[in-house]
Amino acid sequence: MIPEDRGGPAQPLLTVKGLLKHFPVKKGLFGGASAKVRAVDGIDFEVLKGETLGVVGESGCGKSTTARLLLSLIDPTAGEIVFDGERVGSRALSLKEFRRQCQMVFQDSYSSLNPRLTIEASIAFAPQVHGVPRKEAVGRARDLLARVGLEPRRFAERYPHELSGGQRQRVNIARALALQPRLVILDEAVSALDKSVEAQVLNLLLDLKEEFGLTYIFISHDLNVVRFISDRVMVMYLGKVAEIGGSEEVFERAQHPYTAALLSSMPSLDPDNRTEVAPLAGDPPNPIDPPPGCRFHTRCALVEPVCSAKEPPLAATEGSHRAACLAVQPGSGHSLAPAATSVELAA
Amino acid sequence: MTEPAIQIRDLRVTFGGVVRAVDGVDLTLHQGEVVALIGESGSGKSVTLRSLMRLHPPRRSRVEGSITVAGRDVLAMSERQLADYRGATVSMIFQEPLLALDPVYTVGEQIAEVIRRHEKASRAEARARALELFQKVRIPSPERRLDAYPHEMSGGMRQRAMIALALACRPKVLLADEPTTALDATVQIQILLLLRELQREFGLSIVFVTHDLGAAVEVADRIAVMYAGRIVEEGSARDLIRDPRHPYTIGLLKSRAEGALAKGSRLDAIPGSPPDLAHLPPGCPFAPRCPLAIEPCRADRPPPIPIGPGHAARCIRTDVSPGLLARHPEPAPA
């Protein structure tokens, strides 16, 4: 069951098109007119082979829903997921086979392990479901435990409650790798760990990525960590992609005002240069009734009338760097928009 | 000089007779000063904070040492005195306002209740005070929000409401237990700035517990770093960031992923994990993870070694520890 690379290195490992998830919510006493939470509201992105795509955004932006949609843990309202050239759920790539190649590590290391299985049994469980003989699966589980820094002789027979948070998260990582996946989705996987342990686990993730040729989707609210680990970064706001681009491009030359605000909200760690003014006021709006036009216009410093009238497309600003903001899009009608060049007019 | 707002002497808190959660903490907080207690889970920072309000269940915990707040001996108070002291002299805000606020009363009612419990005030007066507090913590349309239930508010708004509740009886000391940890980044900075502003306006003394060095630097005058139940380093925020001396503080600073790092480089992580508080090693509890540990470190607990005015570290190797700052992690294998 060695995963084979089908489309070659240039073909994206994962292509997401028009992914949409609306959760119905009952409104009013009689449950009549039902409203929808637009958790993920039409997003497109690609994950390239061997890269780490960081996903950032605040609560309610849809980053965790996106992760769950990718693995079909919840069904999308609309949209298509293509894995290495094959549509997930098609004849060529069944959901079961896709799930073997795509694994997930969750934030809560305790609730994602079966408390009644030893960690060795937990890691060996999924390969057995996929037809690996028990002995082989257990042997591989022990190898993986050693690989994530837990000595098998000391740890294999332990139960999850006998481990610390950092050790449990190492077990979850080993379990995700047991099926030899190609894509690992890490949903706030280091967020619950103490800082000194977080650094250890981040280093481990980098080592494993090199060793097993993995591709990561790394979801986190911690911008420092995302910058450190990601090759590219996707910024989400209220179910939409606000900006996507190379990690350093996004962090050094943020195009979307939301990204800029998010970045300047980070504490400075400089006692002589404390933050004096909060970059944004208020909380993110409710995804049940997102603002019309650009969803960020209610909190944006660059807001103009056009922003509430027109929804900005996610358009290229430089190279592969794309942002959904009218202020950086030529000919958008925003006063700060750059003049359209002849090439863009022709296109 | 006026008496300190808080004076803690040799505080020891033991749970179940074996777990030494706090193991000899000394801390002085002057009036109008903001001190951040930082540390990882199990370092004793929250336990220290809760001791200041005597929130530990007396049956299962033993609290020794002395705690003086605004000139009063907290450990000697009767239950009745404690009830008067909590809220009026000292109040506390928590990480999760949804759990700390009562779900079946409006936030306005909860604030008015606190005011009427501690002071002679009519319902109308209490409500007027609550409204004033809501304006102070900058809750938009405060009049309407007073009649909201906690679940009807957003996370940032709830935290503002809890701060209003805590300040209702003009306490001298505010205890903040990870007040911004559960909040989104753009909201966290708003709350940090609000705390700083209220501190100036009310002349509050604040003890701010956090695991986030960045948040600590944004609000605190001084920072105390805790490890295994003790303060291992204490100094001004500037000293701690610019001239850290305890290998643990240095390790925390160096293990942060910050700024632009070369792709594929590794973080300088602290090896190992924090010690089991029920079986602490005899010497320095950080010695098993410390790159500078020598024999004497494992034999005796290091006393606080003064480094500069108001700056001390419990480490006998502070003469060589600055060298750790310059050391870089081994490059990633090619």
- Overall domain count for chain A: 1
In terms of CA atoms, which chain A residue is nearest residue B154?
Answer: A283
Residue A284 lies in a domain: no
**Residue for token pair 């942060």:** B256
* Other CB atoms within 10 Å distance of the CB of residue A330: 14
Write out pLDDT tens, residues A112-122: 999 999 999 99
Q: At B202, which amino acid appears? A: F
Q: What is the ipTM of this complex?
A: 0.87
Max distance between CA atoms of chain A, in angstroms, equals: 68
Give the 3-state secondary structure of residue B228: coil
Under a CB-based contact definition with an 8 Å cutoff, are residues B21 and B44 in contact?
yes
Residue A178 lies in a domain: yes
The answer on pLDDT for A148 being more than 90 is yes
The answer on pLDDT for B332 being more than 50 is no
pTM given for the model = 0.90
- A/B interface, count of CB pairs below 8 Å: 131
Q: Which two tokens stand for residue B168?
A: 């209702």
Residue A21 lies in a domain: yes
Least Cα separation, residue A282 to chain B (angstroms) = 7
Under a CB-based contact definition with an 8 Å cutoff, are residues B249 and B233 in contact?
yes
Q: What are phi and psi of A142, to 5 degrees?
A: -65, -40
B246 to each of A198, B148, B209, B322, B323, how far by Cα in Å? 20, 47, 19, 9, 11
Residue A243 lies in a domain: no
Nearest to B49 by CA among B178, B169, B165: B178
Write out pLDDT tens, residues B247-300: 999 999 988 887 767 777 889 889 988 888 888 889 999 999 999 999 999 999
Q: Which two tokens stand for residue B334?
A: 């090619």
Helix H or strand E encompassing A263: helix A257-264
Q: Do B269 and A275 touch (CB under 8 A)?
A: no
Q: Do B264 and A206 touch (CB under 8 A)?
A: yes
Least Cα separation, residue A319 to chain B (angstroms) = 20
> Distance between CA atoms of A305 and B162, rounded to whole angstroms?
36
The 3-state secondary structure of B173-199 reads: EEEEECCCCCCCHHHHHHHHHHHHHHH
Kindly report the average pLDDT of chain A as a whole number: 90
Residue A245 lies in a domain: no
Q: Pairing state of beta strands B230-236 and A35-47?
A: unpaired
Q: Do A267 and B189 touch (CB under 8 A)?
A: yes
> Distance between CA atoms of A219 and A60, rounded to whole angstroms?
13
Q: Do B215 and A228 touch (CB under 8 A)?
A: no
Q: What are phi and psi of A87, to 5 degrees?
A: -70, 135
> Distance between CA atoms of A236 and A14, rounded to whole angstroms?
18
The string of DSSP letters for A82-135 reads EETTEETTSSSS-HHHHHHHEEEE-S-TTTTS-TTS-HHHHHHHHHHHTT--HH
Least Cα separation, residue A109 to chain B (angstroms) = 15
Fold adopted by B1-89+171-334? Rossmann fold (3.40.50)
Under a CB-based contact definition with an 8 Å cutoff, are residues A304 and A296 in contact?
no
Q: Do B40 and A284 touch (CB under 8 A)?
A: no
Give the 3-state secondary structure of residue B74: helix
> Distance between CA atoms of B275 and B284, rounded to whole angstroms?
11
CATH of the domain at A45: 3.40.50.300
Under a CB-based contact definition with an 8 Å cutoff, are residues A205 and A178 in contact?
no
In a mutational test of the B interface, the residue from A109, A196, A263, A300 whose CB has the highest number of chain B CBs within 10 Å is A196
Helices (H), chain B: 45-51, 79-88, 97-100, 107-118, 123-136, 142-145, 155-166, 185-202, 213-219, 237-242, 247-254, 295-299, 322-326
The residue segments making up the domain with residue A93 are 14-25+35-237
> Distance between CA atoms of B2 and B172, rounded to whole angstroms?
14
Write out pLDDT tens, residues A154-203: 999 999 999 988 899 999 999 999 999 999 999 999 988 888 889 999 99
In sequence order, the 6+-apart residues with CB closer than 8 A to the CB of A126 are: A175, A178, A179
Confidence of residue B163 (pLDDT cuts 50, 70, 90): very high
Write out pLDDT tens, residues A66-96: 999 999 999 999 999 999 999 998 888 999 9
Residue A246 lies in a domain: no
Max distance between CA atoms of chain B, in angstroms, equals: 73
| B94-122: b (≥16 Cβ within 10 Å) or e | bbbbeebbeeeebbbbbbbbbbbebeeee
In a mutational test of the B interface, the residue from A269, A270, A276, A299 whose CB has the highest number of chain B CBs within 10 Å is A269
A190 to each of A103, A170, B38, B254, how far by Cα in Å? 16, 10, 19, 17
